[in-house]
Chains A and B, each alone.
Chain A
Amino acid sequence: MNELSHTRTNHLIDPSMHVWGWEIPVYLFLGGLVAGMMIIAGYFLFMGRHKEPKCSCFYLPIISTIVLSIGMFALFLDLEHKLYFWRLYTTFQLKSPMSWGAWILVLVYPALFANILIRPPEIISNKFRLIASLSEKINRMKNSTRLIGILNISLGVLLGVYTGILLSALGARPLWNTSILWMLFLISGLSAAAAFVHLIAKDVQEREMLAKADNTFLTVELIVIILLIVGALSSTQAHIDAINIILTGPFAASFWVFVVGLGIIIPLIFQVLAVQHKIIHTPVFPIMVIVGGLILRFIIVYAGQYSHWSHTVLGK
């Protein structure tokens, strides 16, 4: 027997840490989704697909702006000292991924706005002459769409990567403390975004293209999950205990069923059949991918807080 007891009873800390509720996984998911949409829209611009009249790159930045703002509002709700949130923008802390994230978000909005300006919705350009004239100027500039495409891809990658690094930099939580987490969040963001664009795209050819892309993203995501598991299982006892929380422990059922099974493997199988024209495309599988991505963030955030280093001394 090696029993540990302590007299501390701090709220959100004891008996096990749960400092971050629904707000953080929702933000991380929406941030990843926007990152994926920025990369997809940026890629379309870079490849010149904006010449297609039905290209989704025209409405993706508008949707991204709304979705990201909802995510940031969730983040704001999570703050315990809300009235001081502006303190994020009076400093830049080099070692803090959260500080990097706060400033990346400041850069993301202008990139999205620049993308909107390529062809702003008529309701907006008719009402605001300034936007219409800005749009004209941008379209007259040489290579402007390609540059805006590259800008959106770059900031999308930064946004997606930072959502993972935010957690992986916290060494006190062994489940998060893996350098592959950014890759998992980036690829999961891309697969959710591809599924979302597949759902809403008006162009049939585009829909097909995104279904194929999503199949690749889901396959890579599965590989990254396997690498994350192998990495943790071959690390310290704290990391082995941490990964077992999602492999066999309290989060195992939701992880295997909702993330791996219903969120990746089943939609992958059916979407592979759909792109081979053996079955028809349905909205069911993209929706399963999106929900799986959201549940993945919940499981990683909740199980990660639950993971910890051993506090025992005598048994060591």
Chain B
Amino acid sequence: MARLVMVIDTRKCVGCMDCVVACKTENNVPEGFNRDWITTEVLGKSPNLQMEIRSERCNHCDNPPCVYCCPTGASHIHDYGGVILVEHELCIGCKACLASCPYDARFIHPDGYADKCTFCIHRVEKGMNPACVDVCPTHCMYFGDIDDPESRVSKLISTRKYHTNIPEAGTKPQIYYLT
């Protein structure tokens, strides 16, 4: 079984927002909404400042509260790669999944259903990368199967320092940020 994850090198990311634009274009994300975004964190006191830029999105968690709280089964774990998806025709728009996500990664699409990053599953199933990964000009994003020890993502995780976002929430997020 494959487990698809994303690895993002925060040492290379410059926060250019190409990933954001690529996602909006590829997935027809409605105006005013984002499936992915850039977070900039600054720590310290000038001139001793530390900064991290992160391209963030749904963490496609291994322990996904959005799937568990869904009353209709619309939010589900996809058969391939453990990707978290929403079946639009099953979603009643109750917004429990929006409230259950510690990353605030979901939103209500103007058509009424819960929407979020799909890891561009329509591309991935054709053997392509998610749009955000392919357009990144600094090549700071990697996508692949973490269960395969020979994959690039596995090798990066085993050789570099990394963190995930809000691991204390217990969701087992699957986006790894190299530091």
Contact = CB atoms under 8 A, between A and B. Distances in A.
A84 interface: yes
Interface stretch (A97-105, A152-160, A183-191): A97-105
B39 A91 contact: no
Contacts of B168: 236, 238, 309
A88 B71 contact: yes
A13 B112 contact: no
Interface string A1-16: 1111111111111100
Nearest to A173: B99
Contacts of A97: 69
B13 interface: no
A298 to B, nearest CB: 16
Contacts of B163: 313
B44 interface: yes
Contact of A88 (B17, B20, B72, B169): B72
Interface in B1-59: 17, 20, 32-34, 37-45, 50, 52, 54, 56
A234 interface: no
Interface stretch (A73-81, A113-121, A192-200, A251-259): A73-81
Contacts of A14: 104
B123 to A, nearest CB: 22
B94 interface: yes
A297 B104 CA distance: 23
Interface in B84-138: 89-96, 98-102, 104, 106-108, 111-113
Q: How large is the interface on A (under 10, 10 to 19, 20 to 34, 35 or more residues)?
A: 35 or more
Nearest to A75: B94
Interface in A212-266: 236, 238
Nearest to B106: A13
A190 B34 CA distance: 43
B34 A8 contact: yes
Interface stretch (A132-140, A164-172, A201-209): A164-172
Nearest to B87: A87
Contacts of B166: 309-311
B68 to A, nearest CB: 4
Contacts of B102: 171-172, 308-309
A6 B39 CA distance: 4
A236 B99 CA distance: 19
A63 to B, nearest CB: 27
B39 A93 contact: no
A314 B50 contact: yes
B59 to A, nearest CB: 12
B70 interface: yes
A305 B163 CA distance: 26
Contacts of A2: 41-43
Contacts of B90: 84, 87
Contacts of B56: 6, 8
A305 to B, nearest CB: 7
Contacts of A5: 39-40
- Give the 10 A-B CB pairs with smallest separation, nearest first: A80-B93, A81-B93, A81-B112, A8-B37, A98-B71, A314-B43, A172-B102, A99-B71, A10-B107, A95-B68
16 contacts: A1-B42, A7-B20, A11-B32, A17-B98, A20-B95, A79-B92, A80-B94, A81-B93, A81-B111, A84-B91, A84-B112, A171-B169, A171-B170, A172-B65, A311-B165, A313-B163
